[in-house]
């Protein structure tokens, strides 16, 4: 890693996302990863581990609380009224940072492909708790926080998702 490279570290046990430049910490935010813990398999509902890259950034200039479905803005803004109409919905709001695994056979390709699993860093309702694993596999952030991160990273930015490995 170059001293000037900007990269992201996601710490699943600590439920934090840290933006770094080389070894220097630039900013740290609380996050929420998968309720089912870490894991790479398709349909597992887990947050994948290992080295990733930012593949696509979606939602630049969209207002806070923009609702996305299938990575497209719906024209709606999240509100308590909208939430009441769709209880239990997994809201994807404000910005999407779509990740792609870089390790063939672990988080890239086959039944463990992060990109094909639609794993994002994205905004969620500000009423949702942070630092508590609650997502369906993605990395959730507060809306203001995802905007800040989105503006500081580029397509291709390295993302390291860390969690201890356990024996099954």
pLDDT digits (tens, 9 = 90+) for 46-97: 999 999 999 999 999 999 999 999 999 999 999 999 999 998 899 999 999 9
What are the helix (H) ranges across the chain?
A: 80-85, 143-152
Cβ partners under 8 Å of residue 129, min gap 6 = 32
Mind listing the pLDDT tens digit for each residue in 33-54? 999 999 999 999 999 999 999 9
Its CATH class, for the domain covering 33-155, is mainly beta
pTM for the model: 0.94
């Amino acid at each position: 890693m170059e001293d000037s490279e900007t990269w992201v570290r996601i710490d699943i046990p600590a439920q934090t996302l840290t933006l770094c430049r080389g070894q220097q910490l630039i900013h740290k935010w609380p996050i929420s990863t998968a309720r089912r813990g870490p894991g790479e398999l398709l349909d597992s509902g887990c947050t994948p581990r290992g080295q990733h890259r930012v593949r696509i950034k979606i939602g630049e200039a969209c207002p806070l609380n923009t609702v996305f479905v299938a990575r497209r803005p719906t024209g709606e803004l999240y509100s308590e009224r909208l939430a009441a109409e769709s209880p239990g919905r997994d809201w994807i709001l404000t910005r999407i940072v779509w990740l792609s695994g870089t390790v063939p056979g672990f988080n890239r390709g086959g039944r463990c492909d992060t990109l094909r699993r639609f794993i994002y860093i994205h905004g969620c309702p500000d009423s949702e708790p942070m630092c508590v694993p609650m997502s369906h596999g993605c990395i959730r952030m507060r809306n203001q926080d995802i905007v800040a991160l989105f503006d500081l990273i580029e397509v291709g930015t390295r993302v390291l998702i860390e969690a201890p490995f356990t024996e099954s």
